Amino acid sequence: MKIGLDIGSTTIKCVVLDQNEQIQYQTYQRHLSLIAEKTAGIIQEIRQRFPQCHDWQIAVSGSAGMGMANACGVPFIQEVYATKIAADRLAPGTDCIIELGGEDAKIIFLDGSLEARMNGTCAGGTGAFIDQMASLLNVSPEHINDLAAACEQLYTIPARCGVFAKSDVQPLLNQGAKKSDIAASILYAVVNQTIGGLAQGRPIKGNVLYLGGPLTFIPMLRESFDKVLKTGGTCPEHSLYYVCLGAAYLADQSCSLEDFLSRLSGYAAGSEWETLPPLFRDQAEYDAFVKRHEGADVPRGSLKDYQGPVYIGIDAGSTTIKAVVMGSDGSLLCTFYQGNTGNPVPLVRDFLMDLYRRRPDLWVAGCCVTGYGEDIIRHAFHADYGLVETSAHFTAAKAFMPDVDFIVDIGGQDMKCFHVSDGVIDNIYLNEACSSGCGSFLQTFANALGYDTEEFARLGLFARGAVDLGSRCTVFMNSSVKQAQKDGATVGDISAGLSVSVVKNAIYKVIRPSSLSQLGTHIVVQGGTFLNDAVLRAFEQELGVEVVRPAIAGLMGAYGCALYARRKALPQQKSTLSGPEELKAFRHQVKNVTCGLCNNHCHLTVNTFGDGGVYIGGNRCQRPVTKKEDTDNLNIYRFKQEYMKGLQPVPGRLGIRLGLPLGLNLWEMAPFWHGFFTELGFTVVLSPLSARETFLKGQATIPSDTVCFPAKLLHGHVAELVEAGVQAIYYPCMSFNFDEHLGDNHYNCPVVAYYPETIAANMHLPEGIQFINDYTGPHNPKEFPEKIRQTLIRYFGNRFSKNDVQRAARKAYAARDAFLSQIREEGQKIIRRAREAGKTIICLAGRPYHADPEINHGIDMLLTGLGLAVISEDCLSHLEKKFPVRVLNQWTYHSRLYAAAKYICTQRDMQLVQLISFGCGLDAITSDETRSILQQKGKIYTQIKIDEITNLGTIKVRLRSLLAALEQKEK
């Protein structure tokens, strides 16, 4: 008989076939990383079930099966190949297989040549992603299905990695969005990710087969695929077992079960991986460590006996709600710490009602709220104050260490670090959406391995072979853990390794100090994650210093709020916080509407409270709240958008509609080409500003899922030009940009320079549409006309004279000059008006294409909403001359960035915020240099990484922290 084993990332599947290749036995179980043990159990079971059989043939497949197959001396069958073999036999005529597993996603094309696409190094969204999201919604993964069936509206959630999606889903939950809508959105996210990341231009059609756990157990996921693919795929019998069936079919070497089992036990024992020194050598060392940290605590009081005013601090965080009740003497009377089950409002209500029940006569003098849920809680319960998270934590940390110069806060999902000098926060580091290896990350792994967080941490304390997992994002970590499991690491080894990696993430990925001493010597660590002794120990070991961890590490945000409320409250003040009667009558209703006030069409969640109060979430600008248009338009981004909209088609004598896709460098070159081709007699059509649909229209043809988002959008723009009925699309390759004499060279970045090649090679345009992407060099005005004439002849015949082209070129250069000088003038106008109004000016610096509303996600409007004026780097760069930088200054757009940074150093009321697209390799170089230019002159550097993410919650925290820091600095 034949045995096929499929060792996946989270499960083991096994089938036994008889001589007629009929299934005699099958099993599907989670292995919880005990791969060898579970496999042995299954083989034992098989041996008992089929005692009469002595001729066994075994083959192993699956992403975690390679090591075992080698160790046990049985053939290893690559899992995609196994799937194909099974499909050939069980479902002949299949054209395409979509298989989702625990951590893998695959599309296998069977028609024509076999082609398989597997999720790459960066694509995480799969079964594990759904699990993660389910735990965020506090439902079982299976329950997602029922929820999704009741969906009314979809939200945009990128499924690229769980961490990303989390930072989108959490604020939605906090704003009161419905779980059913979110559940459906999560499934659509998986669909979009699978198609966008894997299909890569190849259409999915014909007979589609759905395989693997998620697609088997979640019918709504299949339905979502059907809808998006406009097809009706089937989920066949044995859909979980295709891989092991394929392996079994191919098993052709005899192997006795006894031999297999004995080699398997050897496999479990022998292992090799990069190890770290243990966190603690022995119990004594641990005891001393515990004793040292016990010192940092605050006095406690009794709520029952306390007399006088109390101050309440509430921290409505991303995964937990924390609250403290503090007496006027600073003693803690009551604390509250609870997992946030998606909606913070009822939890806070329960907490307050309980508080009043215990002390009906309680005199609340002040209440302050911080965290993700700050706004909604403030509105719901009429708290007196709101405080940005960073300020809350700083206030709390000072209470433990007045001369603190560095604070590291690792919470459930976010990481905040700030550097303090002269009592002012002068540098803020927040984890970017890609690296939130935080508390929930440890929790997720602990749960996945079948432990609760505390026990998981304890197992790691004395682990001898802690796995070195590096310091990268969760998705990579999954694979590293997978590898370690494969090598036989124990749960303790993994636990210790994960704790170290959380610390390394914080230090090397978020803070990125040039040397560890730069972090300062007085360090306070806080946040729930540091209550984990393994993490705390790893942190001290990595830094080589002893730090202070308050006993209330998990409550510091709330504690800081309480301290703030005490400072702010006037003597005899009575808080505006809802009283017992109001709480009893409290009602909360959520309605989802789409805002129609502008083209952004934000999905708004409108929260209505029993007392008539309304709170609106999900808005990018203040219009739905104030019902007024933002009249004082100090925003260069808006200006650039309007300028592009103004480039309208002018009917030309040739009667040829020529399209320009408005993306990447076209954001600066569009006036040039519009002028050029219009003068030649073309009717020039620009694709409209990007919207979400733009991306979706083109995503199936994106070949590299790790290229920057602005580049990905180009596919959609070209698709929209096709829809607009153009006859030709002009999108030229340009190695060089204009020389503005600010740098050593004047290249475009490789992606900007050559992305037209990607479009040409991956998008199939309908017959009759010419795609023109020939190389061109407007940077050389002398030769440009003759060179471009050659291109024109190639596509449109010899109908333009040298003079025609010369004249068109003159128009083109004039149009570009006019555009650039208008940006500069407008910039100066904004600066002047901002100064008159006493506003701070933010240079939202990046590249010209960051003006695209879908790329910047309305951060410009967020800034103006906070009362700031917004300019961009190209408003300022011409005011500086070339100066030495410590990098090779060879890209035109980036030279502007350095020049703008230098100029800002001389302006007291200007600050720089750099926009960085995820995956922009050049910004690894430019961001460091820009930071150092600013910091040399004592300016705060703020960086915002943007991708498909559309929720601005985290970004708002950053910007508010920046403002708080500036305010403090002023004082």
Partner 1 sequence: MAELKYNKQGRLLFTKEMKKEYTILVPDMLPIHFNIMRHIFVNEGYKIELLDNAGEHIKQLGLKYTHNDICYPALLVTGQFLDALTSGQYDPHKVALIIMQTGGGCRASNYIHIIRKALERAGFSYVPVISFNLSGLESNPGFSLTPSIIRRMLAGVIYGDLLMLMSNQTRPYEVKKGQTDRLLEIWINHIGEQFKRKKGCSIKEMKQNFRDMIHAFAEICRKKTKKVKVGIVGEIYVKYASFANNSLEKFLAEQGCEVMVPGLLGFLMFKVDARVQDYKIYGGNFMVYMIAKKFLGYLEKIEKLFMDSINQFSDFVQLSSYQDTKPPVKGLIGLGNRMGEGWFLPAEMIELVIHGYENIICTQPFGCLPTHICGKGMVHKIKSMYPHSNIVPIDYDPGATRVNQENRIKLMLSVARENLCEV
| Minimum distance of partner 1 from residue 8's CB (angstroms) | 12
Q: Which residues of 394-415 are buried (b: 16+ CB within 10 A; e: fewer)?
A: bbbbbbbbeebbbbbbbbbbbb
* CA-to-CA separations, 376 to 537, 587, 735, 806, in angstroms, rounded: 36, 13, 50, 61
| Minimum distance of partner 1 from residue 669's CB (angstroms) | 15
| Minimum distance of partner 1 from residue 483's CB (angstroms) | 5
| Minimum distance of partner 1 from residue 791's CB (angstroms) | 10
| Minimum distance of partner 1 from residue 59's CB (angstroms) | 13
CA distance 782 to 247: 66
| Minimum distance of partner 1 from residue 943's CB (angstroms) | 12
Contact 31, 223 (CB under 8 A): no
As a dihedral over the C-alpha atoms of residue 934, residue 936, residue 940, residue 941, rounded to 10 degrees, the angle is 50
- Helical spans, DSSP H, in 359-487: 374-381, 389-400, 439-448, 453-460, 474-487
Q: Which amino acid is it at 524?
A: V
Looking at the Cβ atoms of 437 and 557, the one nearer to partner 1 is: 437
| Minimum distance of partner 1 from residue 914's CB (angstroms) | 14
Looking at the Cβ atoms of 518 and 594, the one nearer to partner 1 is: 518
Looking at the Cβ atoms of 316 and 885, the one nearer to partner 1 is: 885
Looking at the Cβ atoms of 286 and 508, the one nearer to partner 1 is: 508
| Minimum distance of partner 1 from residue 243's CB (angstroms) | 12
C-alpha dihedral sign at 499, 500, 502, 506:
positive
Q: How buried is residue 282: exposed, middle or buried, by Cβ count under 10 Å (0-12/13-18/19+)?
A: exposed
Q: What is the 3-state secondary structure (H, E, C) of 105-142?
A: EEEEECCCCCEEEECCCCCCCCHHHHHHHHHHHCCCCC
C-alpha dihedral sign at 122, 123, 127, 129:
positive
| Minimum distance of partner 1 from residue 952's CB (angstroms) | 23
Q: Which amino acid is it at 347?
A: L
Looking at the Cβ atoms of 751 and 861, the one nearer to partner 1 is: 751
| Minimum distance of partner 1 from residue 185's CB (angstroms) | 28
Number of residues in the chain:
971
C-alpha dihedral sign at 694, 695, 697, 703:
positive
Residue with tokens 């028609």: 111
Looking at the Cβ atoms of 356 and 775, the one nearer to partner 1 is: 775
Looking at the Cβ atoms of 324 and 473, the one nearer to partner 1 is: 473
| Minimum distance of partner 1 from residue 742's CB (angstroms) | 16
At 369 the three-state DSSP class reads: strand
CA distance 932 to 930: 5
| Minimum distance of partner 1 from residue 177's CB (angstroms) | 32
Going by C-alpha positions, the residue among 249, 268, 259, 253 that lies closest to residue 5 is 249
| Minimum distance of partner 1 from residue 108's CB (angstroms) | 10
Q: Give the H or E element holding residue 771.
A: strand 770-772
Looking at the Cβ atoms of 923 and 948, the one nearer to partner 1 is: 923
| Minimum distance of partner 1 from residue 498's CB (angstroms) | 14
Residue with tokens 């304390």: 461
Contact 255, 57 (CB under 8 A): yes
* CA-to-CA separations, 446 to 11, 32, 277, 465, in angstroms, rounded: 16, 10, 21, 18
Looking at the Cβ atoms of 607 and 758, the one nearer to partner 1 is: 758
Looking at the Cβ atoms of 703 and 725, the one nearer to partner 1 is: 703
Looking at the Cβ atoms of 33 and 224, the one nearer to partner 1 is: 33
Looking at the Cβ atoms of 343 and 699, the one nearer to partner 1 is: 699
Instruction: Enter the DSSP assignment of 171.
Output: H
Going by C-alpha positions, the residue among 504, 520, 502 that lies closest to residue 427 is 520
Looking at the Cβ atoms of 199 and 728, the one nearer to partner 1 is: 199
Token pair of 465 as six digits: 């072979």
β-strands 309-316, 320-327: how paired?
antiparallel
Q: How buried is residue 791: exposed, middle or buried, by Cβ count under 10 Å (0-12/13-18/19+)?
A: middle
| Minimum distance of partner 1 from residue 700's CB (angstroms) | 12
| Minimum distance of partner 1 from residue 501's CB (angstroms) | 10
* CA-to-CA separations, 381 to 316, 346, 595, 611, 888, in angstroms, rounded: 13, 11, 26, 10, 55
CA distance 175 to 602: 13
| Minimum distance of partner 1 from residue 221's CB (angstroms) | 24
| Minimum distance of partner 1 from residue 764's CB (angstroms) | 10
CA distance 410 to 408: 6
Looking at the Cβ atoms of 297 and 783, the one nearer to partner 1 is: 783
DSSP notation for 468-526: ---S--HHHHHHHHHHHHHHT--HHHHHHHHHHHHHHIIIIIII--SSGGGG-S-EEEE
Q: What angle, 0 to 180 degrees and rounded to 10, lies between the N-to-C axes of helices 784-796 and 802-836? A: 120
Looking at the Cβ atoms of 212 and 560, the one nearer to partner 1 is: 212
Looking at the Cβ atoms of 259 and 468, the one nearer to partner 1 is: 468
Contact 432, 945 (CB under 8 A): yes
Going by C-alpha positions, the residue among 960, 710, 749, 711 that lies closest to residue 857 is 710
Looking at the Cβ atoms of 407 and 484, the one nearer to partner 1 is: 484
Looking at the Cβ atoms of 14 and 473, the one nearer to partner 1 is: 473
